[in-house]
């Protein structure tokens, strides 16, 4: 078996198929258009982005954003990847701050990793935590922003490529900044 990147034409056909399925079957189209301002029939901006995409990962990312724009938890774009990247830390948002709320101490002994549960996460790999919240929640379809950001916070240390296409774009180590 071999693998290769899809051609631009293949990506466009794939996307048009997905958009066509929504055009034929998505009942709350008018509601979404009128209330949240997303018109699933306006494909040109998406098509332009797909034409400019250099990789399948970029394409899957665009596809996931399109579907997430519906702001429906029952609509999700996934791809067939089984790749997952995670470390045994977890975060959530408390009082507007991203806090560490789980540490597997068998993997992160306190003597070597002095952060504690309740520590505020301020950066990951040199980028502010707000960047990661925005990036990781971009393809999440929850309409309610707080829920979307909380799920994004849970993805900081747990990335599943089937739902976050860029999950494999990580290094071998992670550097965190915290208070």
The pLDDT value recorded for residue 145 is 87
User: Quick check: 143 pLDDT over 80?
Assistant: no
Sorting pLDDT into bands at 50, 70 and 90, what band is 176? very high
Sorting pLDDT into bands at 50, 70 and 90, what band is 142? confident
Please give the Cα distance from 162 to 24 (Å, whole number).
25
Question: Closest Cα partner for 11 from 150, 122, 165?
Answer: 165
The owner of tokens 């979404």 is: 32
The pLDDT value recorded for residue 76 is 86
> 14 vs 9, 21, 60, 110, 143, CA distance in Å?
9, 11, 10, 48, 25
The pLDDT value recorded for residue 124 is 97
């Amino acid at each position: 078996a071999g693998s290769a990147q899809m051609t631009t034409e293949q990506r466009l056909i794939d996307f048009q198929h997905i958009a066509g399925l929504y055009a034929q079957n998505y009942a709350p189209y008018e509601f979404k258009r009128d209330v949240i301002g997303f018109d699933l029939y306006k494909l040109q901006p998406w098509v332009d982005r797909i034409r400019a995409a250099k990789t399948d990962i970029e394409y899957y990312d665009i596809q996931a954003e399109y579907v997430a724009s519906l702001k429906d938890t029952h609509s999700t774009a996934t791809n067939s990847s089984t790749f997952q990247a995670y470390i045994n830390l977890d975060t959530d948002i408390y009082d507007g701050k991203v806090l560490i709320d789980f540490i597997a101490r068998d993997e992160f002994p306190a003597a070597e990793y002095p952060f504690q549960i309740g520590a505020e996460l301020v950066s990951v790999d040199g980028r502010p935590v707000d960047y990661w919240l925005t990036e990781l929640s971009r393809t999440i379809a929850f309409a309610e922003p707080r829920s979307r950001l909380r799920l994004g916070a849970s993805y900081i240390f747990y990335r599943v490529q089937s739902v976050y296409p860029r999950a494999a774009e990580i290094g071998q180590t992670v550097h965190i900044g915290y208070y």
